[in-house]
Amino acid sequence: MERSAVAPLVEMSHITKTFGSVIALSDVSMAVSAGEVMCLLGDNGAGKSTLIKILSGVYRTTEGEIRIAGQLVSFASPRDAQRCGIATVHQNLSILPLMSVTRNFFLGRESSRGWGPFKSFDLRGCDRIVRQEMSRMGIDIRDPHQAVGTMSGGERQCVAIARAIYFGAKILILDEPTAALGVKQAGTVLRYIHQARARGLAVILITHNIYHAFPVGDAFTILKRGRSYGTFAKGEVTREQVLSMMAGAEELEELEAEIKEAARPVSVLG
């Protein structure tokens, strides 16, 4: 089914954001459907983080609209966005390395049993949920009581993503999840993103690494200096074309000309 035939779960229309006289975003639009991975691409300073902070309730738009499942929304805080099913997993994870996988998974949302003064943390039940949720994404937790700090970077990312999904995320924003990971660890996270899509989530993957984005992405929105080149379905562009738009073909041509000029031999008059 073509993207245009699927009603978007989240739609950002003509978003503009200014900070005083600085225009961070200008007339940017993006739509993501359930079961789709949208890759938000661009170099540093392109406006990716600003756009996502607007969607996650950190910033308010200067102009433009946000619709969730067709309903116009306005977020005054990140909590408002969370109530609409938007969860953000940042590059710097909100995970305590000395605490166990289970304790981190349920941090701030502890499940209890008993009543009144006899309530206690249901550790056994939470262990079972952690094993189950991680197993659904293809990761076998050796021991839910192991410290998160002993896990690989990719596994820690997956714990954070699984936690967001379990607690009701419908729109999952992943902010540079593979930036600090090696090849094998990045592969683990990318497989997990594919699994999240299969569970019907709308996934927004923010990255400047086209080699990580292209295998899992269904569509690509490309930003440069606060403006959008547009959104392209995977079948419409090649990886090299996306990379060229991200870097800016004109700048690359100018750089190539400068390098050739600098490499020309200098004649010496005797």
Q: Which residue matches tokens 């923010």?
A: 206
Alpha helices, DSSP H, located in 94-182: 101-105, 123-136, 153-166
Radius of gyration of the chain (CA): 22
Q: What is the mean pLDDT of the chain?
A: 85
Q: How confident is the model at residue 157 (pLDDT cuts 50, 70, 90)?
A: confident
Q: Which residue matches tokens 């050796």?
A: 142
pTM (two decimals) = 0.82
- Fill in the DSSP letter of residue 265: P
In the predicted structure, residue 43 carries a pLDDT above the cut 50: yes
For residues 100 and 144, is the Cβ–Cβ distance under 8 A? yes
pLDDT of residue 141: 80
The number of angstroms, rounded, from the C-alpha of 205 to the middle of its chain's C-alpha atoms is 3
DSSP bridge pairs for 174: 89, 205
Q: How confident is the model at residue 209 (pLDDT cuts 50, 70, 90)?
A: confident
pLDDT of residue 66: 96
pLDDT of residue 1: 47
51-69 average pLDDT score: 95
In the predicted structure, residue 135 carries a pLDDT above the cut 70: yes
120-149 average pLDDT score: 84
Alpha helices, DSSP H, located in 2-152: 48-55, 78-83, 101-105, 123-136
107-121 average pLDDT score: 62
In the predicted structure, residue 95 carries a pLDDT above the cut 60: yes
- Look at phi and psi of residue 20 and say left if phi exceeds 0, alpha if psi is from -120 to 50, else beta: left
Q: Which residue matches tokens 């031999």?
A: 265
5-10 average pLDDT score: 82
210-225 average pLDDT score: 91
Return d(Cα 74, Cα 57) in angstroms, integer: 8
Q: What is the CATH number of domain 3-93+169-263?
A: 3.40.50.300
Token pair belonging to 115: 């009543």
* Pairing of β 171-175 and β 202-207: parallel
59-88 average pLDDT score: 94
